[in-house]
Amino acid sequence: MTAKIVVPELSESVREARIARWLKHEGDPVTAGESLVELETEKVNVEVGAEWAGVLAKIERREGEDVRSGDVLGVIENAPVHAPGAADAPAPPPQAAVGGPVKQPKAAVAETAASSEEQASVRGPARAPAPMVTPLARRVAEEHGLDLASLAGLGSGARITKQDVEEYLAQRSTPARTVGGVRSDRREERVRMSPRRLTIARRLVEAQQTAAMLTTVNEVDMGALGELRQRHKESFLRQHGAGLGIVSFFIRAAIAALREFPGVNAEIQGEELVLKHYYDIGVAIGAEGGLVVPVLRDADRMSIIEIEKTIQSLVQKAEQRTLSLEDLRGGTFTITNGGIFGSLLSTPILNPPQAGILGLHRIIDRPVARGGQVVIRPMMYVALTYDHRIVDGREAVQFLVRVRELIEDPEVLLLEA
């Protein structure tokens, strides 16, 4: 009996996916529930598992191809696999398979690794094991047309990383031409954009074309918040197992300001203005495959430490490429922290259909006037980009001033939380 591997229903907003990589090869045994292929969508990566145990008989769609829900990716055949030590045992009688394969529960997934190794051991030396390659290294290799088998021996031996592949590419690249004694390097490289990068590009252009974006900037003295974090960071880490960052305080401050200026937490739908009285705050994360903005649902109901733990969990999921569509859905306001990359000042772009995004930046010691004296203080520029169709300049400036006041008196935020 054969079973088709099909692209599942992704979501209402995601119609296409790209085959990122096959986790199995043709001829490999598979168990029910075992992941076979990883699909890359514009938002998250999705793994497609086997519904039946058997053998991956044929791969219909290759890595890099675009597919839609319902497309056939491959075929599983119910070929029997001998148990270890029973390679010479006679095949089971035909009547044993009359009822067809039994669909196994998903609880069997935990046994996948062990059973796969046992099954592979009795199939004989049909294929040399592929080198252990990280997902990013695999992608770089594919973009440059490298056969993964040619990467064997690179790296430390435990695994092959992106850096190992890039060093290999640099070593094998041809020397630059010299024209008239002058070095000339005019190489070009074409790299196919990922679904996520294509979506980022589309949404950025959409934001520019559909919203009347304007940015207002203020500066915040981060001294008080820095001192508070210094006093409490050890106890927070000891009691809660999480650090005490600055983004959680800005989330709390932004929510307080959004309550005072609800237009910044609104969106336009047709000829109506939708004012949202809940606070789902998106936090921009620079992930490996591109920027993602997971959402903290009902962030106004979270304490500082709950916000910290949630952000920590979302960052980890982004790094492991395990964010779900639900993690990224919606959002009423966004915060992005370019300061972690060294940005001194920027004008963030709206995340449609939201009306506001708050940009945080690098903290730098600068001379400022305090009480008629010039003193050195840790200062940060904060920028609010807003949709001028919804928010007037006066409201935007007052919103940002309120955020500044709360950050410069962080004890209030900590007590309220």
| 277 tagged catalytic | no
| 388 tagged catalytic | yes
> Quick one: which H or E segment has residue 220?
strand 213-221
Closest CA to 70 of 146, 5, 136, 149: 5
Spatial separation of the C-alpha atoms in residues 414 and 417, rounded to whole Å? 5
* DSSP state for residue 133 in the 8-state scheme: B
Q: 231: which 2 tokens?
A: 């006093």
**DSSP assignment of 40-52, as one string?**
E-SS-EEEEE-SS
> Quick one: which H or E segment has residue 266?
strand 266-269
Cis peptide preceding 131, ω within 30 of 0: no
Amino acid at 184: S
Please identify which of the residues 66, 298, 392, 409 carries the catalytic annotation. 392
| Residues ≥6 apart with Cβ < 8 Å to 136 | 161, 162, 288
SS3 361: coil
Pairing of β 333-337 and β 356-360: parallel
For 379, half-sphere exposure in the C-beta direction (CA atoms, 13 angstrom radius) is 15
Please identify which of the residues 82, 232, 240, 388 carries the catalytic annotation. 388
Residues with catalytic roles: 388, 392
